[in-house]
Structure 1
Amino acid sequence: MDRIFDTNAPSRRSLLMGAGAGLAGLAAAACSRKPEPAPVPEGITATTIRDAEELAGITYTDAERAQMVADLESRLGALKQLREVDKPNSLAPATVFDPRLPGVDYGLTDTSSVSVMPYVSAAMPGEEDVAFASLTQLRTWLSAGAISSRELTELYLKRIETFGPKLECFVTVMAGRARREADAMDAERAAGKVRGPLHGIPYGLKDLFDAEGAPTTWGAAPYKTRASEGDSAIVRKLAEAGAILLGKTTCGALAYGDVWFGGVTRNPFDIREGSSGSSAGSASATAAGLCAFSIGTETLGSLVSPAMRCGVTALRPTFGRVSRAGGMALCWSLDKCGPIARSVEDCALVLDAINGFDPADAGSIAAGFTYDFRTPITGLRLGIDPAWLEAATQTERNAIDVAKGLGAKPVPFTLPDLPSDPLSLQLTAEAAAAFEDLTLSGRDDELTWQDPEAWPNSFRGARFISAVDLIQVDRLRRLWMQAMQTAFADVDVVIGPSFSSGMLTPTNYTGHPCLAMRCGFDTTKPRTLFDSEANPDAPTARTPVAISLWAPLFREGPMLAFGRALEQALGVATERPPLQAG
């Protein structure tokens, strides 16, 4: 994942920093509380307005400034009233994002159907083989009585105890709840009741979601003791499917990065570096065989990025497919929830369990999900932009070559010629609104990560994004939605580098689905969150590389079918990290 990017292609650093710190320099210059500001005249004056104009990139005349004073003074009173209104994190804005364009038929139905490749049961393997087994394998062994849900749960709890502290990937282990749920699923199976393919299978939950019996810390020191408000929607969905909750996986504070209040979550393939973020613990735990699958979220890269670093498979569903009710809101118009697993079909099975409309989520959309491993690859249109190959690594180019040889029809795909950098202002503004109290109270100082690109600085700078500019960003987003509808019209699946393709930002803002999957390995030195070398003199390690697939809205099925075929052809998905106990 060490990359030399084309100068016109966005780097991973620029993408993540653009979202988290789009106004970092502005905030440092204009919003820092240290040192103490010089005394200013009481009230707003024409001079106040003139000094603020540079922050907005505009210029007024003296007469215009004088005319504005009274109006701006009265506006402060309205802002004071607004800030006194209690606005919990769960309170969504009245304006709700919908990725669907008017007049477009997306073929949505209530029908859901998932068919995965059968697994022919072999002799029961050793513990480590069980720990790294696919969901289909685990399902087969559980059905045959070769292992019980309680035994499988104990196996994972033991691995969490052994490797969890080294990887810093679990913030709360819910052993008591896990054992109770496992025993209940074993009893149901013995009585002839099987809820589905996830019955009796343990998973990890990103600590942005509430679950009864454990705090939900959001990875941030100010919320370390925040109590869960019952089970979130996704926990209830997985419980209905028979899955067993092992505990809460770590996440970067307030869904950014891999630094949380207790440390830095580690990459199992090279524990000298972080696992990237913010679904850091979910990716690390799944890659290390500490759970069968996990749940993560993405606002702008938080599924894709740790999947790349840790070598797992992550599915970012179409915006609105999976309920976020009971989870932390970072950006209401961008937040998405999806599975992290060790194979493509595992992601399909989990998505089937968590997919569905939920009136408790303002952004929820009713859309059936269909996947069939028998989907013919030869009938699919595979979109490729040749320009991306220039910025890709050799490992990524090899994966694209393999993909082109699977029998799908290669067709040209071109990213729309629109700017994507301004889109990050929407994330910055919504996130600052979601955590306004931290900024206004000064409690943002409690967050562990305090660099210029971290949330505290970005939240302060966001106060200077004008409402007019934010609406113009939203209009640009509509242009992107229209342009991407045209771009995806003649393709079923698009393949390319996850970051240097430039697809990460626009597809998140348009709500398109993405599958990030392991495609090979590179030799790297320990890296920072933004992929620069943390220690150029350190020995190298063999670390995973991922490729990304994208699909039209609500068309995850064909994308996953192609991903499964590519996964088999590449033959690199099952290699395990070199973890050692102690």
Structure 2
Amino acid sequence: MCRRTWLLHPTLFSSYLFHVQALLLVFVYGAAASSNQLLSEDRIIAPDFVALMDSGRVHSRNYSKCSGKSDDDSWCRGFRMLDADFFSYDKMLEIEKGAKEFNIPIIRSNRKLVASADGGLENPSSLVFSSAWNHDHAEEAPKRFSYPSLSGVERPKSDEDIAFMSILELGQLMKSKQITSKELARIFLDRLKRYGPVLESVVTITEELAYEQATHADELLAQGTYLGPLHGIPYGLKDIIAVPHYKTTWGSRSFKDQVLDIEAWVYKRLKSAGAVLLAKLVTGSLAYDDIWFGGRTRNPWNIEEYSTGSSAGPAACTSAGMVPFAIGSETAGSITYPAARCGVTALRPTFGTVGRTGVMSLSESLDKLGPFCRNAEDCAIVLDAIRGKDPDDLSSRNIPLSDPFAVDITKLNVGYLEDAEMDVVQKLQSKGVNMVPFKLNYTVDSAQGILNFTMDVDVLAHFDEWQRSGRDDDYEAQDQWPLELRRARVVPAVDYVQAQRARGKLIRDVRDSFKVDAFVGNATDWERVCVGNLVGMPVIVVPTGYKRISDNPSDSTRRRTTITTGIYAPPEHDHIALALAMAYQSVTDHHKQRPPIDDLGPGDSIPNPPRKTIPPRQLRG
């Protein structure tokens, strides 16, 4: 397969019709008539700008910087050419600073890498248009995995123990008639109500829907109809995923009353598998970090700190035993970071594995949906239910994944990076895996900048009117999207495309360097997060240990800092990462540990306590 063909292959970004609007961005720093209005070493704003402001023709605080239609300064004319002369003076200064300190270094780095006198034909853009209306003709429906069977599973005496059972264990309890789906719904709804306000991790509890779906699951089972391992299993959805008749807030004050009467594709898949929706879980505002209109989501393992990443709600709720599993999303670290912080197993699948219709979009070539679970087995089960072609998502595909439960790991060559946890390496070696030192080599030195350019411009295309109307001033964290999207307004179209050409080169470099079946390393290294998302490769985050928190107030505190690792595989080889994670967890129990949400230990105290307190109950010994 030639390199250009490989870029066209569905593994990487097959249909990018939707990026046309992003490529229309053009910015002119000045339509200057004289040299003193051109860019200087220290300033981008034309030197007569302050005089215009003093004269009243430029306003510093109102919605529009330039007043009147006769303004002839280069700054106003440049922004007017973009139809973007609505920024205040302070925001203009902020954009100037961002362009100088962030945009221009990335632009120059990418230009040096891929721009050449011959047109750089060896570095085509990774944004490839496809005129095909039907991609299914070359794809077969995915074959379902063969799940392990359990026997001898007995119902625990306490609801707490039930809350931390795996999907397969809960399913066996239902099939053996030791518990009903309705009982499970009640157990987990109680926990959502108890811990959700403390962790600030739940937006909407869908109680009526949950009991309706659980009752239906019980009725089907009584009639002898079993829909599979998710039959009757409760779960939660990140609140960027639309469910009819319930709010889909995107975590933002701007949209906190929004109801989208759309059935998201992933919700349809889970509903058809018999799963029971309990709640819409917190997303950071507009899917950025862990701050939302209702607060900031906390880490169950140390409730003084926060969950990080926009899938904070799914991670925290799964970690705390409030749901058996949850669906989150990642554009740039929002599965990997909260999973690592909260100590849960989570999968960021190959790009295009899971359809995204009905899900708030940030970047169509980066957004991915994935599961947060108790263990890797559960991740495989959930992935099997939600993967497959979504007819309304041009990037989704029937990826031919092999069965992770049937992988012979003794035939795998697995690399380990310098920052890999050596205990993980040794445990996998003990299972017969051939472990070898490994380094991922690539020549692109601007991966972080490429990701930020791509994501920020794409996000602004979606939230253009939101910014133009001034609603970004009400955003929950002003140093996040508002800052980045104002900076994105001045990314030139040419340099956006150059970033995509650099991305294509990065993809080829990584492909050529990937001489192993998988590799293990730090799950939260930012450069690796950027590279993985730009390439579309899968990674599973696995808990590998716990250590004492720094500056702990008591030697007897039960709060912990989680230790995790990432198992990475090439695109379309999620089954390899899953199989290795299952092998590791078969000889360890880190994934079975429970966070001390309401049992911090004697003498412990929190300087920055949650706004809500947990109702008192008997503490564990």
- TM interval, shorter chain, is 0.7 to 0.9
Unaligned runs of 5+ in 1: 1-29, 31-39, 58-68, 84-94, 101-106, 527-532
The equivalent position to 2:214 in structure 1, one of 159, 162, 182, is 182
Residues 31-50 of structure 1: matches in 2 within 5 Å? 45-46=33-34, 50=38
- Taking only aligned residues, the RMSD between alpha carbons, in angstroms, comes to 3.2
Cross-structure match for 1:232: 264
Residues 164-203 of structure 1: matches in 2 within 5 Å? 164-203=196-235
Residues 400-549 of structure 1: matches in 2 within 5 Å? 400-417=425-442, 418-419=444-445, 420-423=447-450, 424-451=452-479, 454-488=480-514, 490-500=515-525, 502-525=527-550, 541-549=559-567
1:73-116 Cα distance to aligned partner (Å, 9 max, x none): 99977744999xxxxxxxxxxx995799xxxxxx9753423123
Residues 380-419 of structure 1: matches in 2 within 5 Å? 380-385=412-417, 388-389=418-419, 396-417=421-442, 418-419=444-445
Aligned-residue sequence identity (percent) comes to 35
**Do 2:542 and 2:564's aligned partners in 1 also have CA atoms closer than 8 Å?**
yes
Which structure has more relative contact order (CA 8 Å, sep 6+)? It is 1
**Do 2:251 and 2:292's aligned partners in 1 also have CA atoms closer than 8 Å?**
yes
2-structure distance, mates of 1:501, 1:445: 28
Q: Aligned to 1:271, what secondary structure does the other structure show?
A: strand
1-structure distance, mates of 2:76, 2:362: 31
Report the AA paired with residue 405 of structure 1.
Answer: S
Q: Aligned to 1:229, what secondary structure does the other structure show?
A: coil
Is 1:123 aligned with 2:154? yes
1-structure distance, mates of 2:431, 2:234: 34
2-structure distance, mates of 1:82, 1:317: 41
**Do 1:371 and 1:560's aligned partners in 2 also have CA atoms closer than 8 Å?**
no
Is 1:158 aligned with 2:190? yes
TM-score, normalisation: structure 1: 0.79
**Do 1:413 and 1:487's aligned partners in 2 also have CA atoms closer than 8 Å?**
no
Q: Classify 1:316/1:82 alpha carbon distance in 2 versus 1 (closer, same or farther; 3 Å).
A: farther
Q: Classify 1:99/1:338 alpha carbon distance in 2 versus 1 (closer, same or farther; 3 Å).
A: farther
Number of corresponding residues: 498
**Do 2:380 and 2:404's aligned partners in 1 also have CA atoms closer than 8 Å?**
no
Is 1:579 aligned with 2:579? no
Moved more, 228-237 or 150-159: 228-237
1:49-73 Cα distance to aligned partner (Å, 9 max, x none): 614897899xxxxxxxxxxx99999
**Once the 2 structures are TM-superposed, how far is the Cα of residue 276 of structure 1 from its aligned partner?**
1.1
Is 1:260 aligned with 2:292? yes
**Do 2:336 and 2:524's aligned partners in 1 also have CA atoms closer than 8 Å?**
no
Report the AA paired with residue 471 of structure 1.
Answer: V
Cross-structure match for 1:7: none
**Do 2:126 and 2:504's aligned partners in 1 also have CA atoms closer than 8 Å?**
no
Residues 113-152 of structure 1: matches in 2 within 5 Å? 113-125=144-156, 126-152=158-184
**Once the 2 structures are TM-superposed, how far is the Cα of residue 502 of structure 1 from its aligned partner?**
3.6
Q: Classify 1:384/1:180 alpha carbon distance in 2 versus 1 (closer, same or farther; 3 Å).
A: same
Report the AA paired with residue 423 of structure 2.
Answer: N
The equivalent position to 1:551 in structure 2, one of 546, 552, 569, is 569
TM-score, normalisation: structure 2: 0.74
**Do 1:524 and 1:540's aligned partners in 2 also have CA atoms closer than 8 Å?**
no
**Do 1:99 and 1:481's aligned partners in 2 also have CA atoms closer than 8 Å?**
no
Report the AA paired with residue 558 of structure 1.
Answer: I
**Do 1:174 and 1:213's aligned partners in 2 also have CA atoms closer than 8 Å?**
no
Residues 288-327 of structure 1: matches in 2 within 5 Å? 288-327=320-359
Moved more, 229-238 or 338-347: 229-238
1-structure distance, mates of 2:402, 2:461: 37
Structure possessing the higher radius of gyration over alpha carbons: 2
2-structure distance, mates of 1:228, 1:53: 49
2-structure distance, mates of 1:474, 1:46: 34
The equivalent position to 1:357 in structure 2, one of 385, 389, 399, is 389
Unaligned runs of 5+ in 2: 1-26, 46-71, 87-124, 131-137, 599-613, 616-621
Is 1:221 aligned with 2:253? yes
Residues 247-286 of structure 1: matches in 2 within 5 Å? 247-286=279-318
Q: Classify 1:53/1:202 alpha carbon distance in 2 versus 1 (closer, same or farther; 3 Å).
A: farther
1:20-73 Cα distance to aligned partner (Å, 9 max, x none): xxxxxxxxxx9xxxxxxxxx99x865569614897899xxxxxxxxxxx99999
**Do 2:311 and 2:328's aligned partners in 1 also have CA atoms closer than 8 Å?**
yes
Q: Aligned to 1:112, what secondary structure does the other structure show?
A: coil
**Once the 2 structures are TM-superposed, how far is the Cα of residue 421 of structure 1 from its aligned partner?**
2.6
Q: Aligned to 1:573, what secondary structure does the other structure show?
A: helix
**Do 2:414 and 2:433's aligned partners in 1 also have CA atoms closer than 8 Å?**
yes
